[in-house]
Structure 1
Amino acid sequence: MKKVYFYFFWFIFSLSVFVSCSNDDPKIPDWDWGGGETDGDAKPRYIWIDAAANFSDYANSKENIERDLTLAKNTGFTDIVVDVRPTMGDVLFKSSAVQEVKKLDYWPESGGYAFYERTATWDYLQAFIDTGHKLGLKVHAAINTFVAGNSYLYGLGEQGLLFRDETKRDWATTVNIGSGVKNVMDVSEDKYSTKFLNPVNEDVQEYILSILGDLAKYDVDGIFLDRCRFDGMTSDFSEYTHKKFEEYIGEKVTNFPADVMEPDMSEYNALPSALPPYFKRWLEFRVKVIHDFIVKARQKVKGVNNNIQFGVYVGAWYSNYYGVGVNWASPKYNTSAYYPKWATAKYMEYGYADHLDFLLLGAYASADKITGSTEWTIEGFCKLAGEKLMGDVKYAGGPDVGNWTVPAGTDVKAAVKQTVGASINNGNGYFLFDIIHMKKYNYWSDVKAGIDLYLASLENSKK
């Protein structure tokens, strides 16, 4: 009889191993990250923790980390997203590829910008992992991707790889602006104070992938890429990218960049009636660059730990997002049918939603535009995202409750509460930026009221 039981259990075990091993496609996650549509479970609620904005609170204090994560847990958040690579490009975890952050700029109570120094030697990311998991929170790490330096125009100087290593100058993006085509390291305008890398450059890509490989060694539940994009319409116009573009289209572009784009062009301005001859192919080329990097980044992360959720943060304003070279939609979504002015028929092929496990959506409307059906309302942003993602990936949208426009007479605390339902009922979760604003304006009870209302409606739906 014991032999019968042994063979029975051995058969069940072997079958389970076969099933689990047969799903070796890294694009298909074999775990459940919530969502609620099919199993009735509550949808996840994410809160972002910006590196620079919160550095003076957390850099040297595990106690402050535990204090605020406890607040987040008690408010009803289920997931935290810890930014561990600020825009200056160094990191807040252990990596053989890049230096650790020693100081970041902040605004002390005495006024005026200053640097806050990190003197602690404990692992910043690991402290969030330990505390978050102890509290029952899922802990995700985020990196600012194609950046590697900050120029602090208010007198603090500069920081980052691009400033300390002259040999990496060619990694910096080249911008097409009114004063000419220039390496961004030679541009002092405030809008270019964060120094972007050139996403087309293969050495740059390998550098970022090496950072991701080190990050994936941590016991995080997920990794999100922020600023995995070009630095706006004016980027990148280097000779390196010029040649790569010619290789892509299979012909020479001798009048470059004039036949591609006029200087200082912005995606937020109406496109001219007559566009340069290669303009649309240029946009197509750029989204292919980012799409292909997303594929590589996913493979890098999954190659280290297949159980890590891989995703991105993007802005919800899809109608303008061509300006940063990103198509976050499903490749089934026919972009050119809706946006023929700027999208080629092939543009849709470089939608990358099917390479993600989860997507965080910045639905950053103003405080008086919570409900609606169009872009630049929180509800509209979230609804429209679903139409573009077409079921390829789960997503959570939500507000920036600190930097949004607040028209006179707006009940901000009521608006904060309403963002929960507007977002979570039109997607697969709720996403809020940033914990610093929650603390500064004491929005904890307002978000909790919104989450409690959602959970109560979920319970009622089960009755």
Structure 2
Amino acid sequence: MVSKIRRNAGMSFTFDENANILWVDFLANGKRLADDGEQVNLLENAVDTGVTHLIIDAKVPFGQTTYPSKYGYHVSSWSDGRFSMWKNRDFLEEFLSKAKNYDVKVLANVDVFSEGTTESRDGLAYDKEHWKVTFYNDAVASESNAAEYKDADTIFVNPIHPEVEDHELRIIQEVCTYDLDGVVIDRCRYPNVYGDFSELSRNSFEAYVGEKVSNWPEDIYTINDEKEIEFGPYFPMWTEWRANNIKHFVKKARSVVKQHFPLFADYVGSWYPLYYSEGVNWGSETYRPTLKWTSDTYQVSGLAEQLDFLMTGCYYYDVTRDEAKNNEKPAYWYSVEGAADISLEAINGATPFIASLFLKNYVNDPEQFRKAIRMCKQKSAGVMLFDTVYVEEYQWWNILKEELGKRE
């Protein structure tokens, strides 16, 4: 085995422009990886198939950490005992101690502004009620289940609450004490278009635009009888303000990470024309979109320049733009190719872009999966595969080896 070049010796390296990234979601893989032998199997399979980067969870989408944290709850604390096998254990330490013997880079993922689950009522959001996102109205909160979308169970917290920001940065600082190659952030966003409408957010927004919003929140938008959003006069500046809030946090997180590691990255959805819902402008500061919801100065909120690489979820079964058209999809970017094209347009060369796939989209269709991998590698600086659990379930390691190529 080739010894891994650890971060202390590699602080100056730049991002590999032909990256094969495999995501290891702890919620899906944590029970299996409680076995040391399974951790070794994952590393050996990854290296054998040509994976260059592994992303492992340090903080999961419900706020728990996979390592013992001074500030958050450990995954083994879950009230239903789902990860009790990890009690008094440190996943990051265990996995990284093995990974140092393999020629693969390892980055830790932090799910940022998600801090609880309605399913089991676990998470810091239940101890810190004042952290939670305030929704547009009670009806919306009920429908969205205080989460990302109807029937989701992830609780989000307000990104501009000072205590929230301090907490998330402390978590990132803790993660940076491990022997990693970098940090990835995910869910660094608002849950959806309905949040946050707290008094804190109202005061911040009014300071941003320099005037009082007399008709709150209807001057931001209204919801018609069909439950569709109808933009109000302040909506374009509202989207800019929300995106700037996320950018400001990303800049602070970058400052922490870059003191330790060469790589700081983000994962977002590729559907830029609809991303006002998440409140993130993941494009470049040089990109000037002219969508009906963007302000004339929306580009100031672009955050691509803050990243060493950016992964966008090209999460579609249709691979080509023609397939999306033939299948009567709403737009060309409802395809892997189209999603990559719109990502390239928005990022505008500000940072390397990695097209990303959701493997479950291709269950029982390995040939479409192969096509999707090839499209990602043709259009972007590599491919990100979500998630390891599907590679195992579908027994697709052989496909990865053929499409990614074993490294000598």
TM-score where L is the length of structure 1: 0.78
SS at structure 2 position matched to 1:134? coil
1:141 aligns with 2:97: no
* 1:369-408 equivalence runs, <5 A: 369-372=318-321, 374-402=332-360, 404=361
* 1:227-238 equivalence runs, <5 A: 227-238=187-198
- Paired residue for 2:118? 151
- Paired residue for 1:361? 312
Amino acid at match of 1:148: E
How far 1:103 sits from its partner (Å)? 5.2
1:327 aligned to which of 281, 299, 311: 281
Moved more, 386-395 or 190-199: 190-199
Equivalents in 2 of 1:265, 1:292: separation in Å? 36
Q: How far does the alpha carbon of each residue in 1:104-123 deviate from its partner, in whole angstroms, 9 at most, with x for none? A: 69xxxxxxx97242245342
SS at structure 1 position matched to 2:100? helix
Counting matched residue pairs gives 389
Amino acid at match of 1:194: T
Equivalents in 2 of 1:322, 1:102: separation in Å? 35
- Paired residue for 1:26? none
- Paired residue for 1:310? 264
Q: Give RMSD over aligned pairs.
A: 2.8
2:386 aligned to which of 410, 433, 436: 433
Q: How far does the alpha carbon of each residue in 1:186-231 deviate from its partner, in whole angstroms, 9 at most, with x for none? A: 7899535211001121221111001111111111111010000001
Amino acid at match of 2:15: W
Equivalents in 1 of 2:129, 2:354: separation in Å? 37
Higher relative contact order (CA 8 A, sep 6+): 2
Equivalents in 2 of 1:383, 1:130: separation in Å? 39
Equivalents in 2 of 1:264, 1:169: separation in Å? 29
Seq. identity, %: 28
1:194 aligned to which of 129, 154, 160: 154
Equivalents in 1 of 2:351, 2:14: separation in Å? 12
How has the CA–CA distance of structure 1 residues 253 and 387 changed in structure 2, closer, same or farther, with 3 Å as cutoff?
same
1:127 aligns with 2:88: no
Structure showing greater radius of gyration is 1
1:224 aligns with 2:224: no
Equivalents in 1 of 2:232, 2:221: separation in Å? 6
Equivalents in 1 of 2:140, 2:91: separation in Å? 41
How has the CA–CA distance of structure 1 residues 54 and 261 changed in structure 2, closer, same or farther, with 3 Å as cutoff?
same
How far 1:271 sits from its partner (Å)? 6.0
2:75 aligned to which of 80, 101, 118: 101
Amino acid at match of 1:284: E
How far 1:450 sits from its partner (Å)? 1.7
1:300 aligns with 2:256: yes
Equivalents in 1 of 2:354, 2:148: separation in Å? 36
How has the CA–CA distance of structure 1 residues 158 and 69 changed in structure 2, closer, same or farther, with 3 Å as cutoff?
same
SS at structure 2 position matched to 1:174? coil
CA contact (8 A) 1:171 1:201 kept: yes
SS at structure 2 position matched to 1:240? helix
How far 1:182 sits from its partner (Å)? 8.2
How has the CA–CA distance of structure 1 residues 299 and 392 changed in structure 2, closer, same or farther, with 3 Å as cutoff?
same
* 1:408-427 equivalence runs, <5 A: 412-427=365-380
Q: How far does the alpha carbon of each residue in 1:324-350 deviate from its partner, in whole angstroms, 9 at most, with x for none? A: 0001011000112xx1x1101111111
* 1:234-273 equivalence runs, <5 A: 234-263=194-223, 272=230
CA contact (8 A) 2:222 2:229 kept: no
- Paired residue for 2:398? 445
How has the CA–CA distance of structure 1 residues 347 and 98 changed in structure 2, closer, same or farther, with 3 Å as cutoff?
same
Equivalents in 2 of 1:421, 1:244: separation in Å? 45
- Paired residue for 2:28? 53
How far 1:88 sits from its partner (Å)? 1.8
CA contact (8 A) 1:223 1:308 kept: no
CA contact (8 A) 2:116 2:154 kept: yes
How has the CA–CA distance of structure 1 residues 186 and 216 changed in structure 2, closer, same or farther, with 3 Å as cutoff?
closer
- Paired residue for 1:31? 13
How has the CA–CA distance of structure 1 residues 188 and 389 changed in structure 2, closer, same or farther, with 3 Å as cutoff?
closer
SS at structure 1 position matched to 2:54? strand
List runs of 5+ in structure 2 lacking aligned partners.
1-10, 323-331
Amino acid at match of 1:328: W
Equivalents in 2 of 1:146, 1:203: separation in Å? 12
Equivalents in 2 of 1:442, 1:376: separation in Å? 27
Q: How far does the alpha carbon of each residue in 1:67-107 deviate from its partner, in whole angstroms, 9 at most, with x for none? A: 122112212111100012112212012432222210569xx
Amino acid at match of 2:293: W
How has the CA–CA distance of structure 1 residues 291 and 188 changed in structure 2, closer, same or farther, with 3 Å as cutoff?
closer
Equivalents in 2 of 1:186, 1:356: separation in Å? 30
SS at structure 2 position matched to 1:323? coil
- Paired residue for 1:161? 124
CA contact (8 A) 2:146 2:156 kept: no
How far 1:445 sits from its partner (Å)? 1.4
Equivalents in 1 of 2:339, 2:15: separation in Å? 22
1:282 aligned to which of 231, 234, 238: 238
SS at structure 2 position matched to 1:418? helix
Equivalents in 2 of 1:440, 1:390: separation in Å? 37
List runs of 5+ in structure 1 lacking aligned partners.
1-28, 36-42, 106-112
Equivalents in 1 of 2:134, 2:295: separation in Å? 25
SS at structure 1 position matched to 2:265? strand
- Paired residue for 2:57? 83
Q: How far does the alpha carbon of each residue in 1:271-323 deviate from its partner, in whole angstroms, 9 at most, with x for none? A: 64xx31211111111011011111111112223x1x33111011111111121
- Paired residue for 1:20? none
